[in-house]
Structure 1
Amino acid sequence: LHVLVQQLLALLRQEGTLGRHTWTAWLGERLVLGEEVERRVDEVVGHLVATGVLDLDGGMLQIGPEAERRYGKRNYLDLTAVFADPPTLAVVHGRTVLGQIHIRSLLRRAHDEPAVVLIAGRDWDIEHVDWRRRVVEVVPAKHQRGRPQWLGTGPGQSVALAQATRKALAGVDPAGVTLSRRAVAGVAGLREEFRWLRAAPSTDVVRDPDGATWWWTFGGTAANVELASMLGPLAPTTPASGLAVRLADDTRHAEVVGRLRGALDEPSPGLPADLAEAYKFADVLPEDAATAMLDARDRDPDAVAAITLRTVRSIRLDDRGPRP
């Protein structure tokens, strides 16, 4: 939605005026930004007019005084680009930047303990979160073990890629693909490591002899971040992988099932509306539209729902199992 605002303002700078109900033709017969954005075009434009970002005269839109105030000082330089930043916050102790953590890993459910950051080799208590600047201020922790960890700057694995990986590991050969002998040997080795996988959809809680436990969901990174949040203390770190969630040592699959059932009855913690100001042009959206945009950026509710409905199998290995 913030990209929609950027496109509209840029077009108005180029054309001067645009038709209230016809300007989206510039973005293609079928809106290239997607159906969800297309459904909210009228709402967003109406809000921009009501707040003075746009003026409406006889059915024609033009740039309003609020847009001039917000974006005109540098000759509308911000209109040249919109950045899709990763959903992360900087962690700082005093003037030292310790690293980055995933936004959703800080959001807590009603009965969760306060988040503790595990970063730079130690635990940190959170003193303050500045959502607008995307900064977390921390001090050395006294007792607790931290949950969130750095996830990297990439978008992570999609559920489609993760599920395709699962099929390949479970023995399904993709149609029309010819592998070299070296690739065939490599795939065979991986399939041996994942010999406990079944073709039928399921998730697997896999324990090594030393107690190290992984929940192999193949749900994609966005879903795994939320699933880890649902598991609370059973998942002590936020996953970077779209394939598996690291569980506390010796976690039983029945504990995973029980925790998921309880968490499904609780609302997912939403992202604060203040965070919208960290994204270009999102600050002029209606509050509910900004919140929906933020929530959609790093959530995959369909994948979460699909994973929670699958059978959870318990696997105990005789040797060290695979890692994502």
Structure 2
Amino acid sequence: MLFVGPEAERRFGRRHFMDLTASFTAPPQFTVLSGRQEIGRTDPSVLTEERPGPRRLLLAGRSWQVTFIDWKRKRVFVEPTDSGGVAKWTSGGIIGLSYALTQAMREVLLGADPPVTLTRRAEARPAEMREAKAPDTVHPGGTLVTRVGNDVRWWTWAGYRANATLAATLRTIADPVQRPNDRCVRLREDLTPEMWRAVLDTMGEHLVFPDVDPRAVRGLKFSAALPERLAVATVAARLADFDGAMAALAEPVRFHHTG
């Protein structure tokens, strides 16, 4: 038989075990504070991504450097900084845009017209984007790896979660300081087509969970009842999209150098 013991009573017994019985469907957000002044709220994804260097946010029209994160109370303390802030918000999913939605964006860039009534302003925008962005980011025959100077990007159009999965999986050729986004994965400056093929030939179908900051598990509901390894794995699993990542890897790849 299993029952609540003294440690569970101490951790969850306040307010008649409300932490064990209450649930919320709204995505969590962290309150950002500079001193005692509330700056706004931010998505937890910018706090959980593992990356070197100081963690910075873009909020209220300027950049802020994170000085402390209170995971339990979902508060972030910051101080002003000159630049380098990052802004990101969920959009109906766990994090970022989904594979299906990002693929639909790619199809529009390739010439598909959305099956909806558009205003004149909206009708003009896809044409502008196709002329300005499409040649260097999409191709009807597969995905593109582009090089502009030292900037090398793989335009997967696979969504944030799939790209985070790909960045972790392709660790030997992915830029280690990147922040994956919905459309592309940044790769190493010295990448060659031969290096690309060698990595894909050896990896097979073995994908890796995205990296997360272990401190993020403190904000995971019931994390106190889980071993730390399992709690970290739970957060990583929620950030991953293996199906989208495999679909991107199955696409033909073209290398495109633009100078």
Alignment of 1:8-87 (within 5 A): 50=2, 52-53=3-4, 68-78=9-19, 79-82=21-24, 84-85=27-28
1:117 aligned onto 2:57: no
Number of the residue aligned with 1:255: 195
- Secondary structure (helix, strand or coil) at the match of 1:283 reads helix
Q: Distance in 2 between matches of 1:215 and 1:153?
A: 22
Number of the residue aligned with 1:307: 248
Structure 1 pair 246–317 and aligned structure 2 pair: CA distance change class (3 A): same
Q: 1:28-77 deviations in whole A, cap 9, x for unaligned?
A: xxxxxxxxxxxxxxxxxxxxx63x24xxxxxxxxxx77654432223434
Q: Distance in 1 between matches of 2:207 and 2:245?
A: 13
**Identity rate of aligned residues, in percent?**
31
Q: Which amino acid aligns with 2:119?
A: S
Structure 1 pair 119–313 and aligned structure 2 pair: CA distance change class (3 A): same
- Secondary structure (helix, strand or coil) at the match of 1:157 reads coil
* Residues 104, 226 of structure 1: 8 Å contact kept: no
- Residue 277 (structure 1) shift: 4.7
Q: Which amino acid aligns with 1:179?
A: L
Q: Which amino acid aligns with 1:172?
A: A
Q: Distance in 1 between matches of 2:108 and 2:213?
A: 39
Structure 1 pair 219–195 and aligned structure 2 pair: CA distance change class (3 A): same
* Backbone CA RMSD of aligned residues: 4.0
- Secondary structure (helix, strand or coil) at the match of 1:222 reads helix
- The higher radius of gyration belongs to 1
Q: Distance in 1 between matches of 2:143 and 2:254?
A: 6
- Secondary structure (helix, strand or coil) at the match of 2:153 reads strand
Structure 1 pair 265–133 and aligned structure 2 pair: CA distance change class (3 A): farther
1:293 aligned onto 2:234: yes
Q: Which amino acid aligns with 1:226?
A: T
1:160 aligned onto 2:96: no
* Residues 223, 303 of structure 1: 8 Å contact kept: yes
Number of the residue aligned with 1:31: none
- Secondary structure (helix, strand or coil) at the match of 1:117 reads coil
Number of the residue aligned with 1:183: 122
Unpaired runs of 5+ residues, structure 1, are 1-48, 54-63, 87-98, 107-115, 121-130, 135-148, 319-324
Q: Distance in 1 between matches of 2:214 and 2:45?
A: 20
Q: Which amino acid aligns with 2:222?
A: F
Structure 1 pair 264–239 and aligned structure 2 pair: CA distance change class (3 A): farther
* Residues 252, 314 of structure 1: 8 Å contact kept: no
- Residue 243 (structure 1) shift: 0.4
- Secondary structure (helix, strand or coil) at the match of 1:307 reads helix
Number of the residue aligned with 1:228: 167
- TM-score, L = length of structure 2: 0.63
1:170 aligned onto 2:143: no
- Residue 221 (structure 1) shift: 0.5
Q: Distance in 1 between matches of 2:27 and 2:128?
A: 37
Q: 1:225-266 deviations in whole A, cap 9, x for unaligned?
A: 121223335332333421011223363344333333334476
Q: Distance in 1 between matches of 2:207 and 2:154?
A: 23
Q: Distance in 2 between matches of 1:282 and 1:253?
A: 43
Q: Distance in 2 between matches of 1:264 and 1:133?
A: 42
